[in-house]
Amino acid sequence: MNDQHWGPTISADIVVIGGGTAGIGFVASLLKRDPSLNITVIEPNAQHFYQPAWTLVGGGAYALEDTVRSMASVMPHQATWLQAAVTDIAADSKHLTLDDGRTVGYQNLIVCPGLRLAWEKIEGLQETLGQHGVTSNYSYQHAAYTWELVKGLRGGKAIFTQPPIPIKCAGAPQKALYLSCDHWLKSGVLNNIDVEFNLAGAALFGVPTFVPPLMKYIEKYNARLAFTSNLIKVDGPAKSAWFEVKDADGTVTIEEKTFDLLHVVPPQVSPDFIKQSPLADAAGWCEVNMHTLQHVRYPEVFGIGDICSTCNAKTAAAVRKQIVVVAENLLALRKQQPLPLKYDGYGSCPLTVEKGKVILAEFGYAGKLLPTFPLDPTVPRRSAWWLKASLLPWFYWNGMLKGREWLTAVSKVD
């Protein structure tokens, strides 16, 4: 097989696809356990982002420049970094092909490239994003534009959207709405603004426990909910957006709505090189056991983070727990021992319902509540805001990416 490739073949004991939260956090944790491991990280980007703070940037509560550092500065120095992208996975022969023609062989593969934001699936969006009142907190380039628009809006129509799941941080689309409305309320202009939240799904939040306290804020801000309404087209200069709306009988109609501010959350998909690989399930995600995170057909492969086929919330908090499970299970596998740990589906969504208060939603598989602290999780708290806006960003850069495993208790396999 090697003769078929232009470049040289690189061999590594453990290859990690992705230098995001999952990739860097995992490598750091694994090297803490065994510094002698030969680990190669494949990541094309020169920058590493702390994406959970982009919601705060869009709400005027965080500095954009504090959400980015160079990839070189966060990459564990014992690991080998290949600044390239994977184009093909030959799982049967344990080889990857890179976009520069090189091939990489592995004993174990950790798949954590994240998901892809499919901006192109909304007609006209790419041409107008970042101008004409069209913005998104899901983009480093545009989160600050959200705040610019929010500060400038004194009246008119503000539309917030949420595409079909899965998406990363399913609470983020409504966090944008809450922080915007809180600013307008405190500025005395909310009564002049018609606020609408268009959701492709049929519920405000996937865990029913948190719907009543969130509805209190929807009512406080006088926002209208448009369920089963999915954004499909934008015309920025005309300030118009089109939605596919499905009624109770399943009949789909197209509705045109005008706006002064449009906050868009793009559809989100598995990267093509995963979707087209033997690792993918029917929907294109890396098909892993929901508890061990080991691939169901290729035992030498594990998945971490947003790329996984698991039904947990795709959040950095989920990754924090998954890292421990995969690190311990991988080392056990390499020693030909039973896999010791299992992931319970834990995810956390700090819902920024107003500037200075957060509802800290923590839950696992099937919506089971998994609160870290012995407090009613449905109550908005200032302490949870401090956790979201101050402690977690600090811990991310100084703890999680350095292999420090804070609040990561996980279950052992029965």
Structure confidence at residue 405 (pLDDT): 86
Check whether 305 has a pLDDT greater than 90: yes
3-state secondary structure 222-250: CCEEECCEEEEEEECCCCEEEEEEECCCC
Check whether 177 has a pLDDT greater than 70: yes
Structure confidence at residue 406 (pLDDT): 73
Check whether 23 has a pLDDT greater than 50: yes
User: Could you give the residue numbers annotated as active site?
Assistant: 169, 349
Structure confidence at residue 414 (pLDDT): 67
Check whether 25 has a pLDDT greater than 80: yes
Helices 172-187, 143-152: crossing angle, 10 deg rounding: 30
Distance between CA atoms of residues 245 and 254, nearest Å: 6
Question: For the segment 79-96, what is each residue's pLDDT rounded down to a tens digit?
Answer: 999 999 999 999 999 999
Mean pLDDT of 137-144: 98
Q: Which residue has the tokens 């490598």?
A: 27
Q: Which residue has the tokens 């920058």?
A: 47
Rounded to a whole number of angstroms, the CA Rg of the chain reads 22
pLDDT band for position 410 (cuts 50, 70, 90): low
Structure confidence at residue 4 (pLDDT): 45
Give this prediction's pTM: 0.95
Is 42 within 8 Å of 96 (Cβ atoms)? yes
Check whether 116 has a pLDDT greater than 80: yes
Structure confidence at residue 408 (pLDDT): 64
Question: For the segment 208-244, what is each residue's pLDDT rounded down to a tens digit?
Answer: 999 999 999 999 999 999 999 999 999 999 999 999 9
Measured CA to CA in angstroms, residue 287 lies from 75, 328, 371, 398 at distances of 27, 19, 28, 31
